[in-house]
Structure 1
Amino acid sequence: MTDLSRIVATIAADMARAEDRGRVADYIPGLARVDPNQFGIAIVTADGETHCAGDADTLFSIQSISKVFALTIALGKVGDGLWRRVGREPSGTAFNSIVQLEHESGVPRNPFVNAGAIVVADVNLAGHQPRETIGELLQFLRHLAEDDSVVIDDKVAQSERATGFRNAALANYMKSFGNLEHAVELALGVYFHQCAIAMNCRQLAKAGRFLMLDGVHPGSGRHVVSAARARRINALMLTCGHYDASGDFAYRVGFPGKSGVGGGIMAIVPGRASIAVWSPGLNTRGNSQLGTIALARLADATGWSIFRPAADRSPDAP
C-alpha cells in the first residue's frame, strides 16, 4: 500500500534542501516580500485522509488558482453560454499576453489566462455589486474547504490594483470589443480581490475535493457541479492551467493542475486525491519552481496519472 505520509515527508525534506528555489513575483509588492525559503504540501484522498508536510498551514495568496472557483460559479450562472465570450483552447502565450486578443476580436483563449478570468469576473458581477460578488466567491471557498477563516489579504489586493496596468489594458481592450458588460473598474476590482484570497495548502486541497469526486462535496454529499462539468473543469486545468507550460506540466506530472504566481498549485487526481503545494519562488514560466518538481516526484512515487490504464488505478497500485 502507498505510504503517503512517508512520501510527502520525503518530498518536503528534499524541497527544504533545494538550492535553486526560483524567484518570487516581485512585480506585485504584496508578493515580493514573501520568504522564498518555504514549502508546503497537503493531500486529501478520496477516502478522507489528509497528509501534510512542510509549511502546509502557512497562508499564501492563491492568485490565479482562484480562477478555477470563479469559473465554477460562472458556469453555474450562465452554463455553456459562457463559451460565447471565452474560449477553451490552450493559449501558448504568457498569462498576461494581449497579442491573441487582437487577432481573436477580444475573445480570450481560455478562462485561466488573465483576460479570460476578467471576463469570468464580469459574468459573476451580473446583478451584484463587486463586494457581493467577492463575498459570494469567499463563501463558496469557505463551504468547499469547510473553513470560515478563508479571507482576502487586503494588502495584496491593493498591490494588485496599484500595479495592474497590464490587466487594465486587457480589460479596456475587451471592453472595446463589447466583451465586458460592466465598467472596467468594477470587473477589475472583482478580479484583483479574488486573486488576493489567502489560503493554506490544507484548505486549498480540501477546496478542490469536489473536482476529484465527480463534482460531489464530501462534507455534504451533495453535487457542487455535475460529474460532466467536473470532468470538463479538470480538462481545462490540464490543457490550460499552466499557461504556456501546460503541455510540459501534463508531460511531467500527468494530472490536472492550476498554478498561481503566489507560488501555489492545486492539482487533482480524479477519484484519488486533491493536492495543494506551495513554494513562492517561480520558474521562468511563472509557475512554482519547487511546487512543480514536488508534484512530478509525487506522481513518480505514487504512480498517479490520468494516462495510466484503468487496470493500474487500484488504490494499492505502485
Structure 2
Amino acid sequence: MNYQSILEEIKEEVYPYLREGKVANYIPALANVNPEQFAMTLTMFDGRQYSVGQADTLFSIQSISKVFTFTLALKHYGLELYERIGREPSGNPFNSLVQLEYESGKPRNPFINAGAINVTDVLLTYFKSSTSTSKKILDFMHAIADDTSIAFNDIVAESEMEHGFRNLALANLMKSFNNFDNDVMEVIKIYFQHCSIEMNTKMLSRSMLYLANHGVDPITGKTYITSQQAKRINAVMLTCGHYDASGDFAFHVGLPGKSGVGGGIVAVVPKMMGIAVWAPALNAQGNSLVGTKALELFTSKTGLSIF
C-alpha cells in the first residue's frame, strides 16, 4: 500500500474544510494559533514514517497527555486504580461537574478532565513530589517518542492555570468526596504542565507504537506495560477518547484514539502503526474537525479500521 500517496490524497480532500471549526479560545495561549494548518504522520513498526503538511510544527498536545499519564498510573497501580476512576463513557462534556456530583466524586473515566486530574493526583502520591512527578511524566514521553527534545510549554501551562477555575472546582469536588489525596493546587499545576507538553505529529505517532504492539515498543523492544494493560488502554481510548463524541469517532473512524483541544488526535492500528494528525480548529465537542475527517478518510481508503 502506498501510504505516502494516500496521505497526499487526504491532504487535498480535507483542505476545503480548514476554514471550518474554531480554535480553543478559552485558553488564551491557544487562541492565537493559526487554524488553517494541517499535519498527519504514520509511524510503522520498523520506524519508517510517512508525513504530509506541517509535520515538524510543535503544538500543545493537551488531553492527549491523558493517555500517557493513565499508562503510568496503570503501570504502578494496576486494577486498584479503578477503585477511584471508572472506565465508562461519560456522554457529557469533558469538563462537566454535574456527573461528578451525582456519582459521588468518582470520575467516569481517565480521559475526561476529572479523571485525568485524579490520575495526576495518584501519580503525585506515587512519585512523592511535584518535581519528581513532572520529571517522570516527561521522561516517559522522551522514552516512548525516542526524542529527548520534548518539553513543557510554561506559557501555555501558566495561561491554563490563570483560567483553570472549572478544573480546580472538579478537583475540590473530588476532594470533598474523599477521592483525592494531595493538595488541590499542587495537583492542578502538574496537570496543566503535562497538558502543555509540545510535540509534532512525527513525535506523537512514534509515541503510540507501544499501544499498537501490546505494551512493547516494536523498535527498541522495551516493555512499558503488560499486554493486558495495553488492551485496556486501547479499549478506553475507543470508548472514551473523544469525550461525548467518542461513539461518533468509533462509528466514522473505527480506531482507538485520543484527541486534545490543541487540535491533535492520536490513533493506533493494532500490530501495524501509530498515527497522529493535527489541525487546530475544533468541532462542537472539542475535537479537531479536520483531524477527525482525515482519520475517517484514512480508514476508508486503507480498510485499516479495527472493525
TM (norm. structure 1) is: 0.94
Aligned residues: 306
1:195-245 per-position Cα deviation (integer Å, ceiling 9, x unaligned): 000000000000000011111112321211111111110000000000100
Unaligned runs of 5+ in 1: 308-318
**Partners of 2:34 and 2:17 in 1: CA distance:** 14
**Partners of 2:54 and 2:11 in 1: CA distance:** 9
CA pair 214-19 structure 1, distance change in 2 beyond 3 A: closer
1:15-72 per-position Cα deviation (integer Å, ceiling 9, x unaligned): 3333543100000001001000100000012343210000111000000000000001
Match for residue 140 of structure 1?
140
Match for residue 267 of structure 2?
267
Match for residue 313 of structure 1?
none
Q: After superposition, where does 1:238-257 map in structure 2 within 5 Å?
A: 238-257=238-257
Partner SS, residue 139 of structure 1: helix
Match for residue 230 of structure 1?
230
Q: Decide whether the 8 Å contact of 1:22 with 1:281 is kept in 2.
A: yes
Match for residue 281 of structure 2?
281
Match for residue 311 of structure 1?
none
Unaligned runs of 5+ in 2: none
**Partners of 1:253 and 1:162 in 2: CA distance:** 35
**Partners of 2:181 and 2:55 in 1: CA distance:** 39
With 130-139 and 41-50 compared, the bigger mean Cα shift is at: 41-50
Match for residue 123 of structure 1?
122
Q: After superposition, where does 1:1-318 map in structure 2 within 5 Å?
A: 2-126=1-125, 127-307=127-307
**Partners of 1:293 and 1:10 in 2: CA distance:** 13
**Partners of 1:15 and 1:165 in 2: CA distance:** 35
Q: Output the aligned Cα RMSD.
A: 1.0
Deviation at 1:13, TM superposition (A): 2.7
**Partners of 1:171 and 1:116 in 2: CA distance:** 10
Q: Decide whether the 8 Å contact of 2:56 with 2:202 is kept in 1.
A: yes
CA pair 19-81 structure 1, distance change in 2 beyond 3 A: closer
Structure 1 vs Structure 2: percent identity of aligned residues?
51
Structure 1 stretches of 4+ with a deviation exceeding 6 A read: none
1:103-138 per-position Cα deviation (integer Å, ceiling 9, x unaligned): 111000000000000000000001421121111111
1:255-302 per-position Cα deviation (integer Å, ceiling 9, x unaligned): 101000000000011112110000000000100000000000000010
**Partners of 2:18 and 2:249 in 1: CA distance:** 21
Partner SS, residue 258 of structure 1: strand
Q: Decide whether the 8 Å contact of 1:202 with 1:276 is kept in 2.
A: yes
TM (norm. structure 2) is: 0.98
Partner SS, residue 24 of structure 1: coil
Q: Which amino acid aligns with 1:305?
A: S
Q: Decide whether the 8 Å contact of 1:255 with 1:267 is kept in 2.
A: yes
**Partners of 1:128 and 1:39 in 2: CA distance:** 39
Partner SS, residue 216 of structure 1: coil
Partner SS, residue 152 of structure 1: coil
Q: Which amino acid aligns with 1:9?
A: E
With 213-222 and 246-255 compared, the bigger mean Cα shift is at: 213-222
With 212-221 and 275-284 compared, the bigger mean Cα shift is at: 212-221
